[in-house]
Structures are given as structure tokens and as C-alpha cells.
Chains A and B, each alone.
Chain A
């Protein structure tokens, strides 16, 4: 298996229902985007998990460097006033 030519890796995003955002579900191998969509349908939506699928080739995703986590994320740590936690939300509001 491993010595065969591998298909490229795709990242799969599934929207679980209309109105919600697509969420990262996992990844899989496929020869091209069409096959990636079909494979994603079979691997990630066989229990009715989704109404829409996005696939992105993994190499097209640019990621932040974990080594820079300190300078990137820590400055936000002590700035609670950036959270909208001082508002009371109506109970009808969901998914926030």
C-alpha cells in the first residue's frame, strides 16, 4: 500500500444543516476534487451528517506556525473586554 503512488490528501468540510457554517470533518485521499467529494459523501455523511460538502486540497491550506503560538495568541489572553460577555442574550438565539 505505502509503496504505491499515493493520491493527494484533501481536507473535508461539512455543513450539518442550512444556516450553519461548514466545519472541518477530517481528511481523506482522492485523485481529484470530484473523487474527493464522492469519497467525502461516503466517508463523512453516511449517517446523515451533512447537507453540503467542501473539499480543499490539504497543500492549499496555509497554517500558522505552532512555534509562534506565543506571539500570535498570548497577547489576547488578558483582554477580556474583547469578549462580548457583558451582554445578555435572548434565549431564542442559538448557535452563538
Chain B
């Protein structure tokens, strides 16, 4: 059971970390100074959540394990983030759609986690709910702005929606870990808010004058450690310092 809880914490933390890393790639490269700061702020919020989850996971794991070893020294197959969040920053539209689809999911997951029987998880969720609300507000506004913007912005964001939306199916897949967490009252039944999630997503797409892609859901298994080809490159960059200079600190 302790093992499953640790894995669950990694799932929650890995999602925030991989998305946070993708956003951090934009530091100094955002489309304008203002959006650059906004995106890196979101990245920092996410890394704050990562630390809370990994510190807890480290305490459960015992000797020699720290938040840093969890973040930086695992093999690819033991990272449990969803494949959606590995998708690269093709352009600003991709960044916004990826963010929006995740924020919307978090806006359902976080309140559910606040009711977790695990007090520590409930506390982390309670702390991050305000951040989540702001992130969703930010990404929703940009969805509408780009969707109802110029012809160019509309076609780019529609392409991003078409590419990314099929990945969202994985968010609701109940893996063995999540089933166990549901049984313990630690995590929610993800299927319970799947329908509401897509209703909300569609609402925003309509307001943004965008259409829902017809494409079938992509079957991906990031939550069980099977990642896309992008993951190796992310980890290469993320782990470089710890691999090159083991146990380095600053």
C-alpha cells in the first residue's frame, strides 16, 4: 500500500514537473516579455507542487531517497506523467492548448484531492487550488483570444487542439495505482468527472469559435511508464547536471 501511495505521489508530481519543465524551456523565449513572465510564473507554481509531492514521497521511501533523487535520478520507465504533457512547445498555440487541457483537468482533480483521506495530499491540494484557478483563467483567456483572433492564430490553435485533444483520454484512465487509491479514499474516480470535463472543454472551444476534432482518442500509457519519443530528450536535459556531477548541490 505504501508503495502504491508513493507511485501515486509520483504520478501527481511528474505531471506537474514535466509540464513545468516544458514551460521553463520558454524562459527568455516567450512571445512577449509579459507572457514570458506569466508562463514561467506558472512553471514555478508547478514546481512548488512538485516539491510538496516529492518531499512526501521521499519520506515514505526511506533512506537515501530525497526529493532530488526522485526528480532527477529515475529511469524513464518509472516516470508516470501523462503523454499529453510531454508534447513539445511547437508554437504558442500548442503551449496554450496543452496548458488549458491540463488546467481544466486539474480544476476537477484538485478539489477531489482536497477531500482525500490522506491529510497530506489534501493539504497540498488545498494549497494549490488557487494556483490552479489562476492557471485555468490564464489559459482559457488565451484560448479565446487566439481562437477568435486573426485567421492565422485561429488556424494555429485549431491545429494544436486537433493534435493535443486526443491525448486527454489518458487523463481519465484508471491505472492499478489509481484504483487502489480510490479504494483507500485517497484519490478520486477519474471517470466520475470525465463527462463534465469534456462539456467544459467544449464550452470554451465554442466561445473560442473552435471546433471539436473528430479524431479518436490516442491510446497512450504514460501513467504506466510508457512514454513518447519526446520524454528521453526531456530527461536528458532535466537530469544532465545530476548525472554529470552526482550529488551536486548549490
Contacts and interface: CB of A to CB of B under 8 A. Distances in A.
Interface string A25-40: 0001111001100110
Interface of B: 32-35, 37-38, 41, 137-138, 141, 145
A42 B32 contact: no
B34 A39 contact: yes
Interface of A: 7, 28-31, 34-35, 38-39, 42-43, 46
A29 B31 CA distance: 12
Contacts of B141: 34-35, 38
B37 A43 contact: yes
Nearest to B134: A41
Contacts of A35: 141, 145
B36 to A, nearest CB: 9
A38 B141 CA distance: 10
B37 A38 contact: no
B145 A28 contact: no
B34 A31 contact: no
A85 to B, nearest CB: 43
Contacts of B41: 42, 46
A39 B35 CA distance: 7
